[in-house]
Chains A and B, each alone.
Chain A
Amino acid sequence: MSYIRQHPRLPDVNVEEVTIHYDGIPIKTRKGISVAAALMEQDIKKLGESRKLNQSRGLFCAIGRCHSCFVTINGEEHVRSCMVTVEDHMEIYPNLRDPDVRSRCNED
């Protein structure tokens, strides 16, 4: 696991465990870290695909500017995973396709 349990320069912190789900798979992680970090900790670096060429996308800038780390969180699509911290029971899915623009009740 890539968790830095004892950081060479920072004091230890108390960790509160939360469980999130990524693509249906439960992941135990630490409260307060970003969704992108929680997934990276599990070696999940590919968070989605680009719209046109279907190329892998993931974390790049980590400060919410590149918009490359999109995931779907609790049904909300195109969320920047570097800007959201994990919460218990979060349901996360990779950003693999564009959402349906038409609302379901308008379907012909």
Chain B
Amino acid sequence: MDKSVMICRCEEINIDEIETVLKLGAERFDDIKRITRCGMGPCQAKMCFKPVAQLISDYTGKSLSEIPPARARMPLRMTRMSVMASNQDSGSTVKAVFEDGDPDDK
């Protein structure tokens, strides 16, 4: 396939960029993510994991069962800072940032 084809549409990373990283020794999705930013955009690897795993498999010869899924962490969805700060439940560091004054004074 044309190497200029984009795989990660959020961060705009194409096949060529991913293969460059594979040549450097990347083996897992997270390796590629840390160097290229592939999977770090708003969708958080939802769209690009499978094609990247296929590229890793094609290049390294590993089977797809040897390529672990992209690591998912909290928050699982895009969350606005102001919404985080609204948490009345417990003392919120995020909330303190939005308020006036030094949080250490509280």
Which of B12, B43, B47, B78 contacts A50 (CB under 8 A)? B12
Which of A55, A57, A68, A78 contacts B78 (CB under 8 A)? A78
CB nearest neighbor in B for A52 = B12
Decide if B34 is an interface residue (CB 8 Å cutoff): no
Report chain B residues within 8 Å CB of A10: none
Contact assessment for A67 and B12 in the assembled complex, using a CB-CB cutoff below 8 Å: no
Decide if A53 is an interface residue (CB 8 Å cutoff): yes
CB nearest neighbor in B for A77 = B80
The secondary structure that dominates the B interface is loop
Q: Tell me how far the C-beta of A58 lies from the nearest C-beta in chain B, rounded to whole angstroms.
A: 11
Decide if A28 is an interface residue (CB 8 Å cutoff): no
Q: Mark B12-47, 1 if CB is under 8 A from A, else 0.
A: 100000000000000000000000000001110011
Report chain B residues within 8 Å CB of A66: 9, 43, 46-47
Report chain A residues within 8 Å CB of B10: 67-68
Contact assessment for A53 and B12 in the assembled complex, using a CB-CB cutoff below 8 Å: yes
Decide if A65 is an interface residue (CB 8 Å cutoff): yes
Query: Which residues of A (8-34) have their CB < 8 Å from a CB of B?
Result: none
The secondary structure that dominates the A interface is loop
Q: Tell me how far the C-beta of A46 lies from the nearest C-beta in chain B, rounded to whole angstroms.
A: 14
Report chain B residues within 8 Å CB of A60: 9
Report chain A residues within 8 Å CB of B9: 50, 57, 60, 66, 68
Query: Which residues of A (49-72) have their CB < 8 Å from a CB of B?
Result: 50-53, 55, 57, 60-61, 65-68, 70
Cα distance A65–B77 when bound, in Å? Answer: 9
Contact assessment for B43 and A67 in the assembled complex, using a CB-CB cutoff below 8 Å: yes
Cα distance A57–B42 when bound, in Å? Answer: 13
B-contacting residues of A (Cβ < 8 Å)? 50-53, 55, 57, 60-61, 65-68, 70, 78
A-contacting residues of B (Cβ < 8 Å)? 9-12, 41-43, 46-47, 78
Sample (12) of A-B pairs whose CB atoms are under 8 Å apart? A50-B12, A52-B12, A55-B12, A60-B9, A65-B43, A65-B46, A65-B47, A66-B43, A67-B41, A67-B42, A68-B9, A68-B10
